Amino acid sequence: MKKMFVLQSVILLSVLLVSACAPAAQPTQMPLQAIPTQDVSQQVIPPTEIPTQIPPTAVPPTDLPAPTLEPTVAVPQQPLVVTENDRFCLKKVPYTLIGMPETATYRMLSEGYSCSEGGIQNGQHLITCTGPMYTLFQIEVCDGGACQNFEFGTTNCP
């Protein structure tokens, strides 16, 4: 029992010695500086005027439809596939063979040029256009409501 008492005393002294010699814990944050404020307890706040009735505003009638909550999705239109299939000469007259979608229509935009129907071949609507040698011309091609302008050229016929 005496050994136990000595052991407990040594442990207690060790704990007291370690805690007494340990550095004091330092604060991890800087102390906040108090900012003086104005004493508002004596201030009188004037009452605000609150209208007893809000005047009605006139809304002009419109003929526009009411907005819908359904989203409108715009489907992007694919570019038209219009190709220059060939340029050739026949009796010193230049021709340009143009292929477009089978259901497409066309309109010549350049003066001094003309086009003629070449029929449908391999799913393409073919036209043959002619005009002055070695020059450029434009046509408008429409299919399914989408229209695009295209530029083609004629060849030089020796």
Residue 9 lies in a domain: no
pLDDT of residue 122: 92
Rounded average pLDDT over 37-44: 53
Q: Is 13 helix (H, G, I), strand (E, B) or coil?
A: helix
Contact (Cβ atoms closer than 8 angstroms) between residue 126 and residue 85:
yes
Domain of residue 135, residue span: 83-153
Helices (H) and strands (E) in the chain, counts: 1, 7
Find the mean pLDDT for residues 60-85. Answer: 69
Share of the chain above pLDDT 70, in %: 51
The string of pLDDT tens digits covering residues 77-115 is: 678 999 999 999 999 999 999 999 999 999 999 999 999
Over residues 40-63, mean pLDDT: 57
Is residue 58 a part of any domain in this protein? no
Domain membership of residue 44 (yes or no) is no
User: Which range (24-33, 44-53, 106-115, 141-150) has the least confidence?
Assistant: 24-33
pLDDT value at position 3? Answer: 61
Is 3 domain-assigned?
no
**pLDDT for res 78:** 77
User: How do the residues of the chain divide into helix, strand and coil, expressed in percent and rounded to 5?
Assistant: 15, 35, 55
Cα separation, 22 vs 41, in Å, equals 48
- Give me the CATH number covering residue 147: 2.60.40
The domain tally of the chain equals 1
Whether pLDDT at 33 is above 90 = no
Residue 108 lies in a domain: yes
pLDDT tops 80 at residue 53: no
Q: Are 106 and 137 in contact (CB under 8 A)?
A: no
d(C-alpha 135, C-alpha 157), whole Å: 12
pLDDT at 57 over 70: no
pTM: 0.53
With residue 126 as reference, give the H or E element that holds it.
strand 124-130
Tell whether 133 is covered by a domain: yes
Give the mean pLDDT of 123-148: 96
Q: How much is the pLDDT for 79?
A: 86
Query: Would residue 31 count as lying in a domain?
Result: no
pLDDT computed for residue 150 by the predictor: 97
Kindly tell me if the per-residue pLDDT of 74 is higher than 90: no
Domain-embedded: residue 73:
no
Cβ distance 79 to 149 under 8 Å?
no
